[in-house]
Amino acid sequence: MSGLFITIEGTDGSGKTTQIKLLEKYLKDKGYNVVCTREPGGTPISEKIREIIIDKNNSEMTGITEALLYAASRAQHTSQVILPTLNDGGIVISDRYLDSSIVYQGFARGMGEKLIKGINKYAVGELEPDITFFLRLKPDDSIERKEKQAELDRIESEKASFHQRVYDGYVRLSKRYRERIRVIDALDSIEHIHECIVRNIEELLNRNSI
Ligand code: TYD
- pLDDT tens-digit profile of 86-144? 999 999 999 999 999 999 999 999 999 999 999 999 999 999 999 999 999 998 887 66
Q: Which pTM does this prediction carry?
A: 0.95
Rounded to the nearest angstrom, the distance between the alpha carbon of 29 and the centre of ligand 1 is 29
Rounded to the nearest angstrom, the distance between the alpha carbon of 204 and the centre of ligand 1 is 27
Rounded to the nearest angstrom, the distance between the alpha carbon of 40 and the centre of ligand 1 is 6
Domains of the chain: which residue ranges? Answer: 4-208
Rounded to the nearest angstrom, the distance between the alpha carbon of 3 and the centre of ligand 1 is 25
Measured from the CA of 50, which atom of ligand 1 is nearest?
A: 10
C-alpha to C-alpha distance for 140 and 21, rounded to whole angstroms: 25
3-state SS track over 13-82? CCCHHHHHHHHHHHHHHCCCCEEEEECCCCCHHHHHHHHHHHCCCCCCCCHHHHHHHHHHHHHHHHHHHH
The alpha carbon torsion through 111, 159, 72, 117 (nearest 10 deg) reads -30
* Averaged pLDDT score across all residues of the chain: 94
In this structure, which topology does domain 4-208 adopt according to CATH? Rossmann fold (3.40.50)
pLDDT of residue 149: 66
Measured from the CA of 97, which atom of ligand 1 is nearest?
A: 24
Query: What is the identity of the amino acid at 36?
Result: C
Ligand 1 contacts (CB < 6 A) are 12, 16, 38-40, 54, 70, 95-96, 100-101, 104-105, 153, 155-156
pLDDT of residue 145: 66
- Closest by alpha carbon to 193, among 203, 204, 182? 182
Mean pLDDT of 16-45: 98
Q: 128 or 154: which carries more pLDDT confidence?
A: 128
Query: How far are the Cα atoms of 41, 44, 98 from residue 128, in angstroms, in the given order?
Result: 18, 23, 9
